[in-house]
């Protein structure tokens, strides 16, 4: 059994209202110097099998079809 970890973030240039809200809240709490925040998500998958390359290809297909909106999001896949 393997575990895959997918990091999904908005692409550069895409507005991130949640990240901006976090940046503003940090400033309100007295944390100065935070000039930008980008918020994303992490998805962990438990996978059967032991072929790392096949697993990576399968998870990339999952990202392209469901886990990430590739028009506005980028992702990275890590097999751990």
List, for residues 27-36, the tens digit of each pLDDT value: 999 999 999 9
Question: Which pTM was predicted?
Answer: 0.88
For residues 15-34, average pLDDT: 97
What residue spans define the domains of the chain? Answer: 2-79
Q: Please give, one letter per residue, the 3-state secondary structure of the chain.
A: CEEEEEEEEECCCCCCHHHHHHHHHHHHCCCCCCCCCCCEEEEEEEECCCCHHHHHHHHHHHHHHHHCCCCCEEEEEEEC
Q: Is the domain covering 2-79 a CATH 3.30.1280.10 domain? A: yes
List, for residues 40-66, the tens digit of each pLDDT value: 999 999 999 999 999 999 999 999 999
């Amino acid at each position: 059994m393997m575990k895959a970890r997918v990091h999904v973030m908005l692409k550069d240039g895409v507005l991130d209202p949640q990240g901006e809200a976090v940046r503003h809240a940090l400033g309100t709490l007295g944390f100065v110097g935070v000039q930008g925040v980008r918020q994303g998500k992490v998805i962990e998958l438990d996978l059967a099998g032991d072929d790392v390359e096949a697993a990576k290809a399968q998870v990339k297909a999952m990202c392209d079809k469901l886990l990430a909106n590739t028009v506005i999001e980028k992702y990275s896949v890590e097999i751990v």
